[in-house]
Amino acid sequence: MRCSSLLLVLALTASAAAERRSKPVAPVTVALTSVADRAGSIGGGVIVTLTATPTQAVPALTLRLDGTVVSFGPTPAGTHRTLTARVTREGDVVGEATIGHRSQATVLHLGAAKPTPAPTPIHVRTLRGGRVVGEVRA
């Protein structure tokens, strides 16, 4: 009887600890989309749109995209709110939706993908005792 009671207490404690570890997030889904101007060049700019959709009715919703901040009043669940900005640089663009003190963010990379660096060559050497080692030269 003692053993089963102890196992029950341990199981309840473990499940409660797992629930406490997860961070609360804003009840909203966010997405970033982009459309390039002037034949797809970054120099002409890229139109980036942040779309936020609350999963439940919220009292206020704030959107942030590339330095632009827009606040909306009460928003029912399932209503799309959008913010659009022209971005003329390469790199990561972050879009964020905030409800109260909780937020949800997403990232969109603009421009060419960074090339993957070539792996560093490894020279295999055998020491006097017969031990084989890998030598990396920078």
The total number of residues shown for the chain amounts to: 138
Of 60-64, 85-89, 122-126, which one has max mean pLDDT?
60-64
Query: Could you give the C-alpha distances from 41 to 46, 80, 88, 117, in angstroms and in order?
Result: 8, 29, 9, 25
Token pair recorded at residue 24:
């609360």
Which residues, including other chains, have CB under 8 Å from residue 67's CB and lie 6 or more apart? 85
The phi, psi pair for 67, rounded to 5°, reads 90, -5
pTM: 0.64
Its CATH architecture, for the domain 23-110, is Sandwich (2.60)
Token pair recorded at residue 102:
């909780």
Domain ranges within the chain, ordered by starting residue: 23-110
Per-residue pLDDT tens digits for 8-52? 444 444 444 455 557 788 899 999 998 875 555 556 778 899 999
Report how far residue 87's alpha carbon sits from residue 89's, in angstroms, rounded to the nearest whole number.
6
Report the pLDDT value the prediction gives residue 31, as an integer from 0 to 100.
94
